[in-house]
């Protein structure tokens, strides 16, 4: 067993591509069936940051739908958060604020990274997050990823691992 | 077992006896095919339902053996208790019997951080019980636990999830404030196992609670070694659990039961006896009426008897009381005494004491007595100077009022009957007196508390002075002879008389002259 473990939550609206993102990255995960039952899917990723190994336990929390809000209980005790946004979502600043608000209601301002996913669909997309960063210092960075191509996925996970160490 | 008990057993357990008999038959057939799990399940399903598939695990043979052992132990009381338990819990008795048969064995222990779901410690019985991806399992378990607690328990107010059962195993969760233990075991945990797990977790929280509370994912900040050592004790549970199912605990239970019965019976017996005594006491007091008992004390004797202590003022009252008790049929031992008798007793003792004291003042008397009040008995032992005094003593004691039984052991001092005679103007002792001197020496050695007076005499012929000296010489000679025979020199009082002894005055003149030349012995009754 690796000496250091960290709990990372992966949050984002329904169908932003969280699960595909995980699949690009992790070595192991439970069957997808679980997520529909209890609303969370657990994955594991071993990372090496500088000279230290760490295990990230990634809690992929089922996104909110119109009839069911996100189950905040799964965010308890998390050390870091990955907030996933669909690049096609034009109301992303509100979405980000909402996710951070939910996070902060459960855990105390944990290091977070913003992930703009499906960049392959809008390669030119660039988000204006400077205002958000100054408003929420817990935002440590932003990535433009593609589960399809694997672009920046690895980097994003290393960034969050470094931030929460 | 008596016929009544057998009938009662058959009445209560009719249904169970039938199903157990059926089960036995099927097991007998199945034992031949015990490797074929599917067949076993199918065969037993009609009787036990889906319970059977849960229990038919890898160690089917162990299970069969254990189940058979249980059946042998189907004693009346045990079955009866199981039946009540089954009714109470709303499950079949067969299921309970199966639960009894299943050996709980702890395979895996996880200590998990409650909030984050991160695994702090994972321990395994051996390599076969190792779980892949323990960190993920811990997280998933935490997620499930959170889910159940949040969505189910909150709505039903049922508290936390405790046991997750799967196949023939279960995960038992014991939760503390900052962490929880997930214990994977074969079988379903019962009270003893749960209790042990809870105790272990309590200990861990007490000692390591602070560092666990601060856990941030860095295991190196925990005293892993110490916590693990504590947790490892849980793997011993299987053996402990098994022991409680063996024959020895049954005997211990029996011994405990008997130990419990003894004081209970004693208490009931005591209570009943006290009731009897209370009743007797009331009847007794009612019967008393005109007899007043002072300092009355009623105490318990064996066989529901009681004794009454105290005193009444007169012998009449005592007689009255005895009469009443004899006619009352109450088994009461009367220990009441009359003061009147006591007074008389004191009087008798005083009288005896006075008489003996007076007698002991008489020369030569040395008397002791023993007095027994209850028997009105006196024993007198000792020595008096002579028979006259002895008779006088006996007569005085016998005349004391109230004494009824006597024992006299009174001796009198022997008399020195013979004298030693001397030739005219001589003080040499003749040889023929040696035997007499031996005898007298023997007597003196027997009564060493007394002195002996030796008085020398002469006839009245010649000067008084000469005669006086002669008679003294005669006494001295006798004394020396006795000293030679072992008598202390100090035990003699010598006396000399220059004339004949008075006792011979009546004799003839010639004879008188002969007999007056003598030495006479007498007791000097002064005590040492």
DSSP string, B187-205: S---HHHHHHHHHHHHHHH
Q: Is the pLDDT of residue A73 over 80?
A: yes
Q: What is the pLDDT of residue A33?
A: 55
The residue with greater pLDDT, B475 or B23, is B475
Write down the residue that tokens 């007074």 correspond to: B343
Give the residue among B88, B67, B66 at the shortest CA–CA distance from B23. B67
Q: pLDDT tens digits, residue range B50-59?
A: 444 445 544 4
Spatial distance between the Cα atoms of B497 and B426, rounded to a whole number of angstroms: 15
Interface contact flag, A38 B147, Cβ < 8 Å = yes
Spatial distance between the Cα atoms of B34 and B64, rounded to a whole number of angstroms: 9
Q: What is the pLDDT of residue B524?
A: 82
Write down the residue that tokens 């000692």 correspond to: B207
The mean-pLDDT minimum among A136-145, B60-69, B273-282, B303-312 falls in B60-69
Interface contact flag, B135 A40, Cβ < 8 Å = no
The mean-pLDDT minimum among B226-235, B325-334, B406-415 falls in B325-334
Spatial distance between the Cα atoms of B237 and B105, rounded to a whole number of angstroms: 7
Interface contact flag, B116 A34, Cβ < 8 Å = no
Q: What is the pLDDT of residue A32?
A: 57
On whether the CB atoms of residues A114 and A92 are closer than 8 A, the answer is: no
Query: At A40, phi and psi to the nearest 5?
Result: -150, 145
Q: Which residues contact A19 (CB under 8 A, 6 or more apart)?
A: A32, A35, A41, A60
Global pTM value: 0.48
Q: pLDDT tens digits, residue range B112-165?
A: 998 899 999 999 988 888 888 899 889 988 888 888 877 665 555 555 678 888
Cα–Cα distance list, B512 to B425, B458, B504 (Å) = 15, 10, 6
When pLDDT is averaged across residues B64-76 and rounded to a whole number, the result is 56
Spatial distance between the Cα atoms of A136 and A140, rounded to a whole number of angstroms: 9
Q: In chain B, what residues touch A44 (CB-CB under 8 Å)?
A: 133, 135-136
On whether the CB atoms of residues B172 and B194 are closer than 8 A, the answer is: yes
Q: What is the pLDDT of residue A113?
A: 94
Picking from A1, A3, A42, the nearest residue to B143 by CB comes out as A42
Strand partners, B482: none
Alpha helices in B91-173 (DSSP H): 93-101, 134-147, 154-156
Going by the DSSP 8-state scheme, the letter that residue B37 receives in this structure is H
Q: In chain A, what residues touch B160 (CB-CB under 8 Å)?
A: none
Q: pLDDT tens digits, residue range B224-244?
A: 888 998 898 888 875 444 444
On whether the CB atoms of residues A118 and A21 are closer than 8 A, the answer is: no
Structure tokens at B45: 């399903």
Q: What is the pLDDT of residue B27?
A: 65
Picking from B118, B122, B146, the nearest residue to A73 by CB comes out as B146
ipTM exceeds 0.90? no
Judged by DSSP in three states, B108 sits in strand
Write down the residue that tokens 């233990």 correspond to: B181
Interface contact flag, A1 B139, Cβ < 8 Å = no
Q: Is the pLDDT of residue A99 over 50?
A: yes
Q: What is the 3-state secondary structure (H, E, C) of B304-328?
A: CCEEEEEEECCHHHHHHHHHHHHHH
**Closest approach of B138 to chain A, Cα-based (Å):** 10
Give the residue among B444, B446, B448, B468 at the shortest CA–CA distance from B522. B444
Interface contact flag, A77 B150, Cβ < 8 Å = no
Alpha helices in B32-92 (DSSP H): 37-48, 51-55, 60-72, 76-89
Q: Is the pLDDT of residue B210 over 50?
A: yes
Structure tokens at A95: 């979405």
- Cβ count near B525 (within 10 Å): 17
Spatial distance between the Cα atoms of A71 and A102, rounded to a whole number of angstroms: 10
pLDDT band at A165 (very low <50, low <70, confident <90, very high): confident
């Amino acid at each position: 067993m690796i000496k250091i473990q960290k709990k990372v939550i992966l949050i984002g609206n329904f169908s932003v591509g969280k699960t595909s993102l995980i699949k690009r990255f992790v070595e192991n995960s439970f069957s997808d069936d679980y997520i529909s039952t209890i609303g969370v899917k657990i994955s594991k990723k071993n990372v090496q940051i500088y000279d230290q190994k760490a295990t990230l336990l990634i809690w992929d929390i089922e996104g909110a739908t119109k009839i069911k809000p996100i189950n905040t209980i799964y965010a308890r005790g998390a050390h870091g958060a990955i907030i996933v946004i669909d690049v096609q979502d034009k109301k992303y600043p509100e979405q980000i604020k909402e996710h951070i608000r939910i996070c902060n209601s459960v855990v105390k301002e944990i290091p977070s990274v913003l992930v703009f996913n499906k960049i392959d669909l809008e390669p030119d997309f660039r988000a204006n997050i400077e205002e958000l960063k100054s408003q929420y210092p817990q935002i440590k960075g932003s990535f433009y990823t593609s589960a399809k191509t694997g672009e920046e996925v690895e980097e994003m996970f290393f960034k969050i691992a470094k931030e929460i160490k | 077992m008596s016929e009544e008990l057998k009938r009662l057993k058959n009445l209560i357990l009719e249904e169970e006896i039938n199903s157990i008999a059926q089960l036995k038959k099927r097991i007998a057939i199945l034992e031949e095919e015990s490797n074929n799990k599917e067949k076993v399940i199918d065969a037993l399903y009609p009787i036990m339902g889906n319970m059977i598939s849960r229990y038919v695990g890898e160690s089917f043979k162990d299970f069969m053996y254990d189940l058979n052992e249980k059946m042998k132990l189907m004693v009346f009381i045990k079955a009866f208790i199981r039946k009540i338990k089954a009714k109470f819990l709303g499950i079949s008795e067969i299921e309970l019997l199966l639960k009894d048969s299943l050996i709980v064995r702890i395979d895996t222990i996880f200590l998990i951080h409650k909030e984050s779901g991160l695994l702090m410690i994972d321990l395994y019985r051996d390599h076969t019980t190792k779980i892949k991806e323990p960190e993920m399992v811990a997280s998933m378990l935490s997620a499930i636990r959170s889910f159940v607690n949040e969505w189910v328990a909150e709505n039903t107010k049922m508290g936390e999830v405790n046991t997750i059962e799967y196949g023939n195993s279960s995960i038992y969760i014991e939760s503390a404030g900052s962490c929880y233990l997930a214990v994977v075991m074969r079988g379903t945990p019962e009270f003893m196992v749960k209790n042990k797990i809870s105790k272990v977790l309590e200990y861990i929280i007490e000692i390591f609670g602070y560092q666990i509370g601060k856990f941030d994912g860095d295991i190196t900040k925990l005293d892993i070694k110490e916590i693990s050592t504590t947790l490892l004790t849980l793997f011993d549970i299987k053996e402990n659990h098994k022991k409680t199912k063996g024959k020895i605990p049954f005997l211990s239970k029996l011994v405990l039961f008997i130990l419990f019965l003894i004081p209970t019976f004693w208490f009931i017996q005591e209570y009943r006896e006290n009731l009897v005594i209370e009743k007797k006491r009331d009847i007794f007091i009612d019967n008393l009426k005109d007899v007043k008992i002072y300092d009355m004390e009623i105490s318990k004797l064996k066989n529901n008897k009681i004794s009454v202590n105290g005193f009444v003022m007169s012998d009449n009252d005592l007689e009255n009381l005895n009469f009443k008790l004899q006619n009352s049929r109450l088994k009461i031992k009367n220990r009441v005494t009359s003061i009147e008798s006591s007074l008389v007793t004191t009087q008798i003792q005083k009288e005896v004491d006075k008489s003996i004291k007076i007698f002991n003042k008489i020369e030569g008397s040395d008397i002791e007595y023993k007095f027994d009040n209850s028997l009105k008995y006196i024993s007198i032992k000792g020595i008096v100077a002579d028979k006259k005094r002895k008779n006088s003593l006996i007569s005085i004691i016998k005349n004391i009022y109230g004494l009824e039984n006597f024992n006299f052991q009174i001796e009198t001092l022997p008399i020195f009957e013979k004298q030693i005679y001397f030739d005219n103007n001589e003080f040499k002792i003749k040889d023929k007196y040696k035997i007499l001197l031996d005898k007298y020496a023997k007597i003196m050695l027997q009564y060493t508390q007394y002195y002996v007076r030796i008085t020398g005499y002469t006839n009245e012929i010649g000067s008084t002075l000469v005669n006086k000296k002669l008679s003294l010489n005669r006494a001295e000679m006798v004394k020396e002879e006795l000293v030679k025979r072992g008598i202390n020199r100090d035990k003699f009082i010598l006396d000399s008389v220059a004339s004949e002894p008075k006792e011979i005055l009546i004799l003839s003149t010639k004879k008188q002259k002969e007999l007056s030349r003598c030495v006479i012995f007498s007791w000097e009754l002064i005590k040492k």
